[in-house]
């Protein structure tokens, strides 16, 4: 598996796990407080921060794993990790473009919520959801491109 | 799994003719990942013109000894 694909897997897992945890906690709280009163700011900032940290940690672990694997096979570890070729870049561009389209559709929904004057919680949640779904779709497209051909 | 490219190649044959060169060796010499060489060999990825020339240069053959583009499906030039 190319190192870039490993990083894509890390991103895919993080963009699923963290938002699920965030929405599970926040939607659970909605049973006790109304959307107008719910305190979503810190949980959302923590979720975004956790995504960044987990992605960095996952990337470091992927790098260490790739390095160990390369050394065991008697090949230069740095060669495997640093190497990013034209196929990786093409796949990344393709995946990011599809992810951008998905996020853009989500933004229309956010715009609609804003115009309809929904609570800030719903607008912020829809915005976050648009970003994470777009990011996940981008990762899924990249992984499919690595396996099915590009 | 459909083939996304009509470009066909003789990289596998050329590797074996070149002293059973491994995919990893070819990848190192071209400066790409081994998975990219695998994808090209299997017809899942069409390399850029520049990479195609680099691959041909590794084997010391003209470009069309490595890559061919059939006139239509199933026909070789």
The string of pLDDT tens digits covering residues A93-108 is 999 999 999 999 999 9
Predicted local distance difference test score (pLDDT) of residue B7: 85
Residues of B with CB under 8 A from a CB of A: 1-5, 24, 28, 31-33, 35-36, 39, 42-45, 47-48, 51
Token pair, residue A14, equals 């993080």
Element (H, E) at B68: strand B67-68
Helix (H, G, I), strand (E, B) or coil at B7: coil
Token pair, residue A115, equals 């115009």
Predicted local distance difference test score (pLDDT) of residue A103: 97
The secondary structure of residue A73, as a DSSP letter, is T
Radius of gyration (C-alpha) of chain B in whole angstroms? 12
pLDDT band at B34 (very low <50, low <70, confident <90, very high): confident
Predicted local distance difference test score (pLDDT) of residue A37: 85
- Per-residue pLDDT averaged across B2-11, rounded? 77
Predicted local distance difference test score (pLDDT) of residue A48: 96
The secondary structure of residue B8, as a DSSP letter, is E
- Per-residue pLDDT averaged across B34-62, rounded? 93
- Per-residue pLDDT averaged across B49-76, rounded? 86
Question: Do A149 and B5 meet the contact criterion of CB atoms below 8 Å apart?
Answer: yes
Tokens 């992927």 correspond to what residue? A62
Rounded CA-CA distance A19/A26 in Å is 10
Query: pLDDT below 70 — which residues of chain A?
Result: 75-82
ipTM of the complex: 0.79
Predicted local distance difference test score (pLDDT) of residue A109: 95
Interface check A86 vs B, CB under 8 A:
yes
Chain B residues with CB under 8 Å of A1 CB are 35
Question: Do A130 and A110 meet the contact criterion of CB atoms below 8 Å apart?
Answer: yes
Is there a contact between A87 and B32 if contact means CB atoms under 8 Å apart?
yes
| Nearest neighbour of A149 by CB, restricted to B4, B47, B51 | B4
Predicted local distance difference test score (pLDDT) of residue B2: 45
Q: Is the pLDDT score of B1 beyond 60?
A: no
Predicted local distance difference test score (pLDDT) of residue A149: 77
3-class secondary structure per residue, A6-70: HHHHHHHHHHHHHHHHHHHHHHHHCCCCCCCCCCCHHHHHHHHHHHHHHHHHHHHHHHHHHHHHH
Is there a contact between A149 and B48 if contact means CB atoms under 8 Å apart?
no
> pTM for the whole thing?
0.83
The string of pLDDT tens digits covering residues A69-91 is 877 877 655 565 667 889 999 99
């Amino acid at each position: 598996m190319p190192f870039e694909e490993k990083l894509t897997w890390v991103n895919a897992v993080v963009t699923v796990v963290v938002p699920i945890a965030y929405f599970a906690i926040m939607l659970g709280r909605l049973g006790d407080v109304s959307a107008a009163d719910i305190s979503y700011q810190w949980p959302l900032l923590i979720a975004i921060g956790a995504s960044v940290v987990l992605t960095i940690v996952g990337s470091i672990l992927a790098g260490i794993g790739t390095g160990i694997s390369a050394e065991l096979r008697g090949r230069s570890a740095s060669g495997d990790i640093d190497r990013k070729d034209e196929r990786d870049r093409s796949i990344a561009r393709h995946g990011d473009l599809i992810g951008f389209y998905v996020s853009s559709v989500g933004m229309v929904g956010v715009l609609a919520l804003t115009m309809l004057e929904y609570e800030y919680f719903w607008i912020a949640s829809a915005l976050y959801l648009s970003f994470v779904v777009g990011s996940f779709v981008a990762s899924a497209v990249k992984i499919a491109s690595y396996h099915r051909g590009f | 799994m459909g083939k996304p490219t009509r470009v066909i190649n003789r990289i596998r044959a050329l590797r074996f003719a070149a002293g059973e060169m491994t995919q990893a060796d070819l990848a190192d010499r071209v400066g790409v990942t081994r998975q990219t060489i695998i994808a090209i060999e299997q017809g899942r990825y069409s390399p850029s013109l520049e990479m195609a020339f680099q691959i041909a240069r590794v084997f010391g053959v003209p470009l069309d000894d490595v890559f061919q583009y059939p006139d239509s499906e199933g026909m070789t030039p």
